[in-house]
């Protein structure tokens, strides 16, 4: 094999590496870093709000990067209904995990008519002295999501992205 053909083969491999493998390494490193971000954000919010990790995990989604498409990190900020955390009723109120609401009760939705019918069981509390101003008991997480998410995303990308990106570059360079 002549030097000219060897040089062309090396040039072809380098072009393939630069045009295909480097962007793919960036995408893979981004997706792996976002997976770590998801874990850390979910745990931090769950600890701050004093709820189970599973209740928060259902509200965090990742749209993975692919090709030229950017990755997106979604966190649903709406409050968590207390019933979804395994609420139990006792004489004084309702307890779900480390949360307790005095005077609350679990309504299964079987009673009532018209606007009083529930689609599913809920934890309710009376807001007035009468039977019907009722309030669904939820655990707000929006403030914690707004505080925790940007800090964790910045910290994890700063600490892990460069290392994962270098690892992917090296792995793909060994393959070619």
pLDDT in tens, 118-149: 777 889 998 888 877 888 899 999 999 999 99
89 and 26 co-located in one domain:
no
pLDDT (average), residues 48-54: 90
- Tell me, yes or no, whether 75 and 85 share the same domain: no
8 and 74 assigned to the same domain: yes
99: pLDDT confidence band, cut at 50, 70 and 90? confident
Cβ-count burial 126-148 (b if 16+ within 10 Å, e if not): eeeeeeeebeebebebeebbeeb
Asked if 126 and 157 sit in the same domain, the reply is no
Q: Is 99 helix (H, G, I), strand (E, B) or coil?
A: strand
40 with 112, same domain?
no
7 lies in the same domain as 53: yes
What is the rounded distance in angstroms from the CA atom of residue 168 to the CA atom of residue 176?
13
Query: For residues 137 and 9, which has the higher predicted lDDT (pLDDT)?
Result: 137
Same domain, 49 and 71: yes
Per-residue b or e along 58-88, where b marks 16 or more CB atoms closer than 10 Å to that residue's CB: ebbeeeebeeeeeeeeebeeeebbbbbbebe
- For residues 66-74, give the mean pLDDT: 91
pLDDT-derived band at 21 (thresholds 50, 70, 90) equals: confident
Which letter does DSSP use for residue 112 in this model? Answer: -
Do 62 and 16 share a domain, yes or no?
yes
Cα-trace Rg, the chain: 26
* Domain match, 69 and 86 both: no
* Residues 75 and 153 both lie in one domain: yes
* Tally of domains in the chain: 2
Q: Identify whether residues 10 and 75 lie together within a single domain.
A: yes
Same domain, 73 and 7: yes
Residue 60: per-residue pLDDT = 95
pLDDT (mean) for 10-24: 73
Average pLDDT over residues 74-103: 90
Tell whether the model's pLDDT for residue 1 goes beyond 70. no
Using DSSP, state whether 134 is helix, strand or coil. Answer: strand
Q: Residue 13 — very low, low, confident or very high, per pLDDT cuts 50/70/90?
A: confident
d(CA 37, CA 97): 25
Quote the domain boundaries for residue 109. Answer: 81-139
Which segments of the chain are extended strands (E)? 60-63, 72-75, 80-81, 88-89, 93-96, 99-102, 105-107, 122-126, 134-136, 138-139
């Amino acid at each position: 094999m002549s030097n000219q053909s060897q040089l062309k083969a090396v040039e072809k491999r380098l072009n393939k590496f630069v045009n295909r493998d480097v962007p793919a390494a960036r995408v893979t490193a981004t997706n792996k870093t976002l997976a770590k971000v998801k874990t850390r954000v979910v745990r931090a919010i769950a600890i701050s709000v004093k709820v189970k990790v599973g209740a928060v995990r259902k509200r965090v989604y990742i749209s993975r990067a692919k090709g030229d498409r950017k990755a997106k990190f979604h966190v649903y900020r709406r409050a968590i209904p207390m019933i979804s955390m395994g609420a139990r009723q006792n004489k004084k109120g309702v307890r779900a995990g480390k949360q307790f609401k005095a005077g609350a009760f679990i309504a299964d939705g079987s009673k009532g008519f018209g606007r009083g019918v529930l689609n599913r069981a809920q934890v309710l509390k009376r807001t007035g002295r009468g039977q019907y101003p009722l309030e669904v008991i939820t655990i707000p997480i929006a403030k914690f999501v707004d505080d925790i998410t940007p800090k964790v995303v910045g910290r994890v990308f700063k600490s892990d992205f460069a290392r994962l990106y270098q690892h992917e570059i090296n792995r793909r360079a060994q393959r070619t």
